[in-house]
Amino acid sequence: MTLLDEVKSELSRIDGESLSVRQAQATAMIRFGGGLRLVQRQILVQASFDSLDAAQWLQNAIHTLYGHEAHLTEIERMSPNGPVHRYQVIVDRGGAALALQTGLLDRRKHVVHGLPADIVEGNIAQIKSAWRGAFLARGGISEPGKASYMEIICPTQEAALALVKTAHRLGITAHPRQVRSSERVTLKDADAIERMLILMGAPMSSREWTGKRSDGEARGKANRLANFDDANMRRSAKAAAEACAKVRHAFSFMGDEIPENLRAAGQLRLDHPDASLEELGRLANPPITKDAIAGRIRRLLQLADKTEKARARQAQQ
């Protein structure tokens, strides 16, 4: 079971809410799950879900809250990743009455394309429930280890703006955006996502999401540090190999002209090509600091370069 499945299952198990709160959730599930359709001059109420638990909750709510019978059907379609199951709740008799009861039709029998005003301007419990219903219908959340987001696909721009406004009343900033002609409302801040999960009624899923996200961030940091260490090791190895080549060149033509302390430092580099400067300093007799060993090798190479240039000038004269 994916994290999204777990969240929707937990939200669908919420019980004991007041009448107005359950009605707000049912209305949001219908609006975001599908809405109203006109078929042969009759209003058909339908909503589609990827969660069987959510579909069963709405089917039961329509009967207990509004007194209408709803049919639940399963639809299977094939995708590149295998079969995909969706669950459709349909009210084909009394659809107009249900639309009026939920507020998706106003008193003038005009379709409400967002959420009814009594929900958007209702109490905090209703707003939490409306977000819960919208998420059950078309919500998504990132799996741990990926970039954090919570997103709800909205049927209309009015529905998206209603979610943004209600999120603001909960103290959470939600961002509307358009993706391939579809309206979406997104939360990207990890703390806001954690808080919204709790407010919607999924504290267990919130703890799991937060815990797995923290583990993922820790692994990511460890990988970045490991990559950083690998890069440092490669740079150090390259620098040591170049130094060894230059020391050999210095030894080949300077011979006995090299001061003993510089010769000893160069010989340590040749004898221990993979050692760090700090390790070379400890191997010196007597031991010296890494800055000191680096300075002697540097002076050896500078002396070799100076000597080579001087000999070249003499040869030209």
* Per-position DSSP letters for 13-60, written without gaps between them: T-----HHHHHHHHHHHHHHHEEEEEETTEEEEEEEES-HHHHHHHHH
Q: H or E segment at 64?
A: helix 52-66
The CA distance from 200 to 11, in Å, is 7
The CA distance from 185 to 145, in Å, is 21
* Per-residue model confidence (pLDDT) at position 219: 56
Say if residues 136 and 29 touch (Cβ distance below 8 Å). yes
Collect the ranges in the chain with pLDDT lower than 70: 144-145, 212-233, 317
- CATH fold, domain 3-201, is Endonuclease I-creI (3.10.28)
Say if residues 15 and 53 touch (Cβ distance below 8 Å). no
Tens-place pLDDT, residues 50-83:
999 999 999 999 999 999 999 999 998 888 888 8
Q: What are phi and psi of 271, to 5 degrees?
A: -75, -25
Say if residues 136 and 54 touch (Cβ distance below 8 Å). yes
Residues carrying CATH 3.10.28.10, the chain: 3-201
What Rg do the C-alpha atoms of the chain give, in angstroms?
35
Q: How far is CA 209 from the centre of its chain?
A: 11
